[in-house]
Amino acid sequence: MKKYKILYLIPAALLFGCEPDIDVPATNGGSADFSVYVAVGNSLTSGIQGESLTLEGQEYCYPNIIATQLKPLGGGEFKQPLLKGESATRGVFTTFYPEPSSNLVLPSIVLKATPSGPAPVFPDPTTDWYAAPEFFENISAEGPYNNVGASGAKVGSLNDPTFSSTNNWFERFSSTGETVLEAAMKNNPTFFSLWIGANDVLGYSTSGGDEGGRAITSASEFAVDLNEALDTLTTTGAKGVIANIPSITGIAYFNTIPLGTILDSATANQLKAGYAGYNLALRNPAFGISDAEIAQRTITFTAGQFNYFVVTDPTLKTDLTALNIPNMRQITSSEFLILRTPQDSLAIGWGTAKPIPGNYHLNQEEVSKINAATVNYNTTIKNAADARGLAHYDAYAAFNVISTTGIIEDGISLNGKYITGGMFSLDGVHPSTRGHAVAANGFIDAINSKYGSNIQSVSVSSYPVIEITP
């Protein structure tokens, strides 16, 4: 069995606090005033990586990178609600303690070796809690903070006075009843960035289309909440940049677990025999199943070639579960399995001898809902930016290139593949440190284009990378 280690490569300038003597092109702010910059958003803005927040993640988040590049143009202090104590290094996972008074949190994701390569190990809520009382200390008195990003925030969260008491990430650096927008406006910002909206569809997506408390925000509600937020942020004349939402189904979380496997002759024959009764039952005239649905549900396996996994699908037209006939079929190439699909279970029969549960699977109907919502949200974001003369970072287009053909930055190849692609952190959702640097450059390009400024981009290769070595 191979062992995997994580090697952090830190730029020498960060370790020794010195900077080389280099010629830096002249910079100017154009028509924008960068003296007081605030960043508003969700976990992307706060710096979460690997489904957890660490001090390192906060220091390398895209808003802090942007703020550093704004300093030569008159940018002021960029204050963040930095973690303290053990939670700063071990990480605070996005799933919290079982009981509020316990001060317990889960640590970051780790990797384990599997027959198919390194796989994520998400913290086990039955065993992995550790005490982090310092995380729950309210630090609002040390503010105001320029970065008010909070994990889990939706567009509607930004102006919700209950958010400060229901969201542990925002609660730690806000006052009771204070909204995210109020926290941002305490700074009297002259410039802002806003990257919000992914959570309005992401929870539904990452849970396999589970509507239980994770329903997709309606397009109309999204539009009202977004325009309200931008009206507030621009009320004093501040300029800003807003990013749209990358393709949800394009991220590594949905493109890592294979949709099937190659079988040997003995296994394929055994499975064909096992599903013969199910396939025959579908053709019972008493059930009245159409030929199209019979074809959709029929399960076949062939030795020596790729076979799609079997999944449970409650959306099938004919529900036969009352007759002890499961609602199952084989997954299609346009559907997805989520990163949390247990690979150990796949190795012992999930997807072949036993259908994969629906909460690990996005069917075509769910994919269509996710994609439609994303397109609607992004149209609203672009229209809202144009109406107010704001810069617009097309993260959807940028991340599509990353997920399909990949990009080259400073001679480094970056793409959307899990771990080896370099763009996503270990949760397959949030950008890695280098991913944050790429996003920061995208924001900077949009700002320069809109306001005629000359903010210098950053060298992506100078940021830490997680390298997996055998």
Per-position DSSP letters for 10-66, written without gaps between them: --HHHHH-------------TT---SSEEEEESHHHHT-BTTEE-HHHHHTSHHHHH
Q: Among residues of the chain, what percentage have pLDDT more than 70?
A: 91
Q: What top-level class would CATH report for the domain 5-17+24-255+365-469?
A: alpha beta
Task: Give the pair of three-digit tokens for residue 121.
Answer: 């190990």
Mean pLDDT computed over every residue of the chain: 91
Task: Give the pair of three-digit tokens for residue 351.
Answer: 């997807």
- At residue 31, does pLDDT exceed 50? yes
Predicted confidence (pLDDT) per residue in 244-303, tens digit: 999 999 999 999 999 999 999 999 999 999 999 999 999 999 999 999 999 999 999 999
Say if residue 321 is exposed, middle or buried (CB neighbours under 10 Å; 0-12, 13-18, 19+): exposed
Helix (H, G, I), strand (E, B) or coil at 147: strand
372 CB contacts (<8 Å, ≥6 apart)? none
Mean pLDDT of 216-236: 98
Mean pLDDT of 27-45: 94
pTM above 0.85, yes or no: yes
The residue among 8 and 272 whose pLDDT is bigger is 272
Sorted by where each begins, the domain ranges of the chain are 5-17+24-255+365-469, 260-362
pLDDT at 15 (0 to 100): 39
pLDDT at 30 (0 to 100): 93
Task: Give the pair of three-digit tokens for residue 188.
Answer: 């009297």
First and final CA of the chain: distance in angstroms?
10
pLDDT at 116 (0 to 100): 65
Using alpha carbons only, give the angle 82, 155, 41 rounded to the nearest 5 degrees: 25
The answer, yes or no, to whether the previous bond of 144 is cis (omega within 30 of 0) is yes
Q: Which residues of 130-150 are buried (b: 16+ CB within 10 A; e: fewer)?
A: eebeebbeeebeebbbbbbbb
